[in-house]
């Protein structure tokens, strides 16, 4: 196959056009003789004829270097100006959406115009206009690029989910009790759930890095920022940068559920709504600092690397609104009316803010950053004051609680349940509360310290600030329960009520960190009181009933020879059986309704009763049962066998009417 014929030679006119275009390219882009030589060498590789343009490009050797430079600079500026004006004539087009070569040419043109203006060369007025046009375009492109390449915040994409971090604590307490309208009563909660899960849960933010702008856009943003700063448009750059970043952070906070609320709006919220917003705030403040602010810091460092001053100014200005929104809610909560159910949430807020302050110090540098940290510290201090004030209010509520309705069955008072679960949950925050309470102040300086009277002095001296406060609150609770026990007309039921409540207190103390704080001496003293109440109950409730089974009054039974004496003895025995039956049935009728919730205490009480009643009844029945006339009237007096009594005693303290058949007759 023959070779293809060579292309026909170009006409002289076509050759001139190629040479002219090449010469214009080299003149426009070359900034030195060496650069021009390099470009001509590259162009000559495509067409040998282009090597001839070297002699026509640069001034002849008889021109001075200054003159040569000025001519080259003017030519470069002319080309740069034309390119800038060309883009300005098409405002709908975006430089940074054009091909890379076009972007590079535009940035080079901006550099040439900026340098020309800075040198004050001829045509500086034209250069100023060109730079102004370029800066306006770059500012708009910065805004567009930053918005277009912004990364949306998706909470489900973080290492935690706000739904999974539900912080259950005092909001789980039952508000149906009469303890106080603003003070709910507790269900049996687990302290480990007080802050959303088992203690010691790792930091969910440790491995999470959030880049607020896609990495591929950062170089373009930095290129824009570099040129605006070098051209003296740092203020316009800062304004545009901060405006966009603030708007995007508002969207991020909205995604996290952190709303912009005034103090009045916060104070008007119902507790359920406020509680939900406080929970979101706790996670929100951690996310803002560890994810959002950390990302903004990295973005500032990358995009605004041209100026340390710009970096710090733009970081603080762009994040100030976000930080203030967080702090404003914290301040609103801190000045809200004190109520005990808020304490756990305020503690969560205090700990969250205290935890991120060191990280904020690393992010906020310079004197302006110090001002931000001072504002954060001020809100932290106010939250700490709110914690102390809420604890003080809780003590006042506990002292003044004066409901006059006794628990019908002598069961555990709702106040006891609430207070004990409240105190157990406080122990979860022991480190924070020890810090906040270790200020040498006393809530009630004019009140005697009852906690000192019934405690091991050595252990009392070694107690932490929280321990001393808990002991004081425990004394208030015990004093209140003692007052409530006086509401019962039946002294035996008073003992049951006191036993139930004190046992519940002791169990809650022993089953939690409260036991370590209050000490073994405290537990032993209360356990001893429970035993005293048990003995008092037996004495009050059963002494009279058992008195009918004694041998006195009726003599020695069959030893009497007198007929009338024997008849009198039988009548006395019958009366004793009858009175015993009546007394026992009254106890049964009343005390089956009474309630002892703890299975062990309930069983111990039944055993103690049986050990006192059954042997005495069996002995009395064995000794005198035969002296009661037989026949149809026998069941009227001897209604129960010892086994019957034992069965009926098993019904006591169950909290429901007994089902025994009191009309049962012996056969």
Helix (H) or strand (E) holding 346: helix 343-363
Report pLDDT for 187: 40
Report pLDDT for 255: 87
What integer is the mean pLDDT of 649-654? Answer: 94
pLDDT above 70: percentage of residues in the chain? 72
Supply the mean pLDDT for the chain: 80
Q: How confident is the model at residue 192 (pLDDT cuts 50, 70, 90)?
A: very low
Alpha carbon distance 431, 433 (integer Å)? 6
Residues 278-312: tens digit of each pLDDT? 999 999 899 999 999 999 999 999 999 999 999 99
Residues 503-550: tens digit of each pLDDT? 999 999 999 999 999 989 999 999 999 999 999 999 999 999 999 998
Q: How confident is the model at residue 463 (pLDDT cuts 50, 70, 90)?
A: confident
Report pLDDT for 658: 66
What integer is the mean pLDDT of 197-224? Answer: 73
Reported pTM: 0.75
- For 256, 320, 332, the CA distances from 372, given in Å and listed in that order, are 22, 8, 18
Report pLDDT for 371: 87
Q: How many CB atoms lie within 10 A of CB 608?
A: 15
- 56-65, 321-330, 615-624: lowest mean pLDDT where? 56-65
**Cα angle: 82, vertex 86, 91; to 5 degrees:** 150
What integer is the mean pLDDT of 138-143? Answer: 96
Alpha carbon distance 284, 135 (integer Å)? 37
Report pLDDT for 439: 64
Residues 596-651: tens digit of each pLDDT? 999 999 999 999 999 999 999 999 999 988 887 665 566 788 899 999 999 999 99
pLDDT above 90: percentage of residues in the chain? 57
Alpha carbon distance 588, 594 (integer Å)? 10
Residues 86-136: tens digit of each pLDDT? 999 988 899 999 999 999 999 999 999 998 888 876 667 898 999 999 999
Q: Which residues pair with 180 in a beta bridge?
A: 183
Burial (0-12, 13-18, 19+ Cβ within 10 Å), 358 = exposed
Residues 341-376: tens digit of each pLDDT? 999 999 999 999 999 999 999 888 766 778 889 999
């Amino acid at each position: 196959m023959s070779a293809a014929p060579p292309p026909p030679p170009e006409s002289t006119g076509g050759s001139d056009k190629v040479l002219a275009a090449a010469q214009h390219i080299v003149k426009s882009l070359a900034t030195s003789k060496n650069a021009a030589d390099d470009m001509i060498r590259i162009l000559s590789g495509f067409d040998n004829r282009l090597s001839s343009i070297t002699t026509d490009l640069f001034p002849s050797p008889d021109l001075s270097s200054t003159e040569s430079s000025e001519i080259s600079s003017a030519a470069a500026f002319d080309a740069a100006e034309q390119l800038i004006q060309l883009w300005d004539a098409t405002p709908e087009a975006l430089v940074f959406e054009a091909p890379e070569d076009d972007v590079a040419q535009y940035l080079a043109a901006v550099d040439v115009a900026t340098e020309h203006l800075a040198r004050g060369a001829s045509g500086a007025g034209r250069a100023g206009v060109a730079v102004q046009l370029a800066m306006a375009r770059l500012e708009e492109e910065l805004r567009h690029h930053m918005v277009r390449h912004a990364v949306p915040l998706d909470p489900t994409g973080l290492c935690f989910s706000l739904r999974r971090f539900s912080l259950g604590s005092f909001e789980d307490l039952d508000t149906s009790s009469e303890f106080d309208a603003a003070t709910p009563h507790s269900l049996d909660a687990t302290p480990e759930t007080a802050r959303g899960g088992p203690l010691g849960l790792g930091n969910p933010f440790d491995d999470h890095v959030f880049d607020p702008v896609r990495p591929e856009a950062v170089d373009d943003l930095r290129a824009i920022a570099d040129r605006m700063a070098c051209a003296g448009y740092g203020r316009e750059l800062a304004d545009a940068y901060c405006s966009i970043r603030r708007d995007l952070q508002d969207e991020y906070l909205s995604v996290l559920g952190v709303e912009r609320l005034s103090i009045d709006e916060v104070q008007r919220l119902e507790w359920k709504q406020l509680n939900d917003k406080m929970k979101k705030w706790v996670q929100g403040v951690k996310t803002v600092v560890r994810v959002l602010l950390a990302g903004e810091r990295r973005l500032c460092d990358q995009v605004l690397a041209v100026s340390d001053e710009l970096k710090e100014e733009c970081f603080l200005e762009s994040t100030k609104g976000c930080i203030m929104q967080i702090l404003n809610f914290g301040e609103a909560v801190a000045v809200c009316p004190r109520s005990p159910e808020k304490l756990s949430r305020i503690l969560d807020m205090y700990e969250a803010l205290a935890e991120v302050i060191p990280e904020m110090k690393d992010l906020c540098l310079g004197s302006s950053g110090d001002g931000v940290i001072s504002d954060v510290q001020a809100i932290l201090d106010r939250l700490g004051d709110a914690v102390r004030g809420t604890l003080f209010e809780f003590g006042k509520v506990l002292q003044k609680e004066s409901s006059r309705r006794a628990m019908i069955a002598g069961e555990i008072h709702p106040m006891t349940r609430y207070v004990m679960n409240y105190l157990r949950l406080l122990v979860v925050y022991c480190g924070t509360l020890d810090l906040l309470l270790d200020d040498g102040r006393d809530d009630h300086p004019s009140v005697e310290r009852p906690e000192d009277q019934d405690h091991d002095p050595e252990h009392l001296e070694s107690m932490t600030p929280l321990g001393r406060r808990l002991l004081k609150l425990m004394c208030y609770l015990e004093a209140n329960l003692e007052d409530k026990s006086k509401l019962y007309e039946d002294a035996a039921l008073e003992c049951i009520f006191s036993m139930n409540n004190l046992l519940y207190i002791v169990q809650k103390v022993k089953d939690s960190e409260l036991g370590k704080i209050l000490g073994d001496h405290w537990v032993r003293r209360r356990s001893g009181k429970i035993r005293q109440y048990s003995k008092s109950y037996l004495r009050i409730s059963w002494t009279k009933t058992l008195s009918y089974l004694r041998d006195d009054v009726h003599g020695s039974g069959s030893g009497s020879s007198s007929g009338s004496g024997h008849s009198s003895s039988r009548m006395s025995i019958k009366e004793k059986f009858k009175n015993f039956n009546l007394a026992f049935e009254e106890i049964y009728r009343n005390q089956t309704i009474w309630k002892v919730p703890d299975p062990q205490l309930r069983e111990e009480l039944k055993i103690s009763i049986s050990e006192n009643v059954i042997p005495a009844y069996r002995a009395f029945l064995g000794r005198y049962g035969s002296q009661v006339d037989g026949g149809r009237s026998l069941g009227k007096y001897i209604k129960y066998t010892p086994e019957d009594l034992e069965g009926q005693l098993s019904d006591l303290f169950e909290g429901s009417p007994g089902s025994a058949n009191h009309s049962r007759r012996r056969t």
